[in-house]
Structures are given as C-alpha cells and as structure tokens.
Amino acid sequence: MKIGFIGDIVGKPGRNIIAQNLQRLRNEHSLDLVIANYENASHGFGLTLRNCQELFATGIDLMTGGNHSFDKKEIYPLFENYPLIRPVNYPAKAPGEGMKIVTVGSADVAVINLMGHYTMPLADNPFTMIERIIDDLEARGIRHIIIDMHAEASSEKRALLYMLKERVSAIFGTHTHVGTDDLQVVDGCAYVTDVGLTGCRDNVIGMGADVPIARFTTGIGGHFDIPDDCRSILQMIVSEIDDTGRAINACKIKLYDDDSEGVTEARIESATGSE
C-alpha cells in the first residue's frame, strides 16, 4: 500500500493548495490512504466545522492534531462525526481519541497521534504510553502502524525512531513547520523529523513576519496572523508499505504555487548500513 502524509496545514493558503492539487497527487502516486495534520488549519489555530468539511472534500482520509487541537471548541463534536484524532497522550478525559484503525485493502492500519513533552501542554509520558499501545496492537495482529509525532524537540522524535523502528511502519514528525532533510527508511520504518508545513512559505512558519519580528526585537507579543497573499507550498511524504507492515521506500514531494515540484527519495538504512 502507498500512504501519503501531509504535515501541518496552516490556514487558507494551505487548504487552497491542497484543494488544487491533492486529487492529482493521489492519482499520480496511487495513494491508498492520505493523512494530514489539521491543528493549524483554521487561520493558524485549531479546526472549524467548515474547514474540516472542506479538507475532507479534497481527498484527505484522516486527520491528526497536536497542541492546538482544542483551540476551536467547536471541534469537540467533530471527533464523533469525522475521522479526526488528537494526541493519544492527552489526559483520558479530553474529548476525542488518539488512534484510529482504518482498513486499507486487506490490512488494518493503526494511525496514532502522539505529542512530545518539551514546551507542550500537560500530557502523559509519550514514550511509556506508546509502548503499551504497540504491545496491544501487536497482540491483535496489527502490523501496519503510522505515528504522527507532534513535538518541538528533534531529540524526542529521533528517540522514538530508535525505540520503535522494528515495530512500526512509519513515524512522521510535525509541529515545527520547518521541513527537515533526514527522510529515511530505517529497518523498515519510514521516518522524517518534520514533514514541514503546507501553507505560506515566504514568512515565519506560515504566519506573517511582523509580529514574530516585533516579539524578538521588543519582547512584546501580539496576535499571529496569516497573510492573505503569499507564496505557498504543499509538503507530503509518500511511503510504500508491504503486506507485513514494513516500509519499502519513501519520498518527499514539495509542490510550489507556481506548479514547480521537487521529489526527494528517502535514504534506505538497515542494521548493517545503507543500501
């Protein structure tokens, strides 16, 4: 099977470039499942009903969240009516679920949303919790496991890779909005520290530059806003996963608003070195 994963969708520019291109990308890359991160989709913070419906209409199958999952309170009932998840290690009383199992062909695929500790809201330990979850999935015979690791610290994401690389199909990092240059398949696990945002690319992490610059130069914050007019980018990881749940290969697609496109192939690593 082939799975596409889109990182943090930031506001209207991100939603627009997905609407304009995702169906074509699904067809060109024969994608069986498309996952995307919604937590910044509605003007940079959270998700509204209207934007939720808009994004699912583009061809996205399931969406993951993060520390901004609950910024728009209208998301609460959406968890029951749409294939949305939020970080699994939020306290148990938080609305929604942190994992969904979907059927792709003849395989059950577990999609898990996990949130790191550093600079993040109150949450349970992601590392001890994920081990229990993987134990349970393996006991149920589920081997196709995709994790969105929503974390600030790259060390947390790398540690998760080396904890779970022989037990999960893919770990895709989100949250920083800045794509990293380390896409690889390690012992059958597709991995990237951060997929990077889908939205404005000519500013500061998808938001207008004025407020961040003022904050850094004066110490005074302000309301982050998304420009009405900007240059945009769509960033997506495509990974092929075999019948046993092992990633065979992966690539990163960077599609720009001028219709130019770049594709970077993952480095394939094994226990004995690169291949």
**Residue 83 carries which side chain, given as an amino acid letter?**
P
Q: In terms of DSSP H, where are the helices of 82-196?
A: 126-139, 154-164
Active site positions, annotated: 68
The Cα 144–Cα 247 span in angstroms is 9
CA proximity to 243, closest of 106, 115, 84: 106
The Cα 200–Cα 207 span in angstroms is 7
**Residue 106 carries which side chain, given as an amino acid letter?**
S
Q: Are 161 and 187 in contact (CB under 8 A)?
A: no
The Cα 44–Cα 52 span in angstroms is 13
Pair of tokens at residue 173: 């990092």
3-class secondary-structure state, position 58: coil
DSSP string, 174-233: ESS-S--S--EEETTEEEES----BEE-SSBTTB-SHHHHHHHHHS--------SS--EE
The Cα 233–Cα 262 span in angstroms is 11
3-class secondary-structure state, position 241: strand
CA proximity to 35, closest of 59, 13, 15: 59
Rounded to the nearest angstrom, the gap between the alpha carbon of residue 243 and the centroid of all alpha carbons in its chain is 23
The Cα 75–Cα 18 span in angstroms is 21
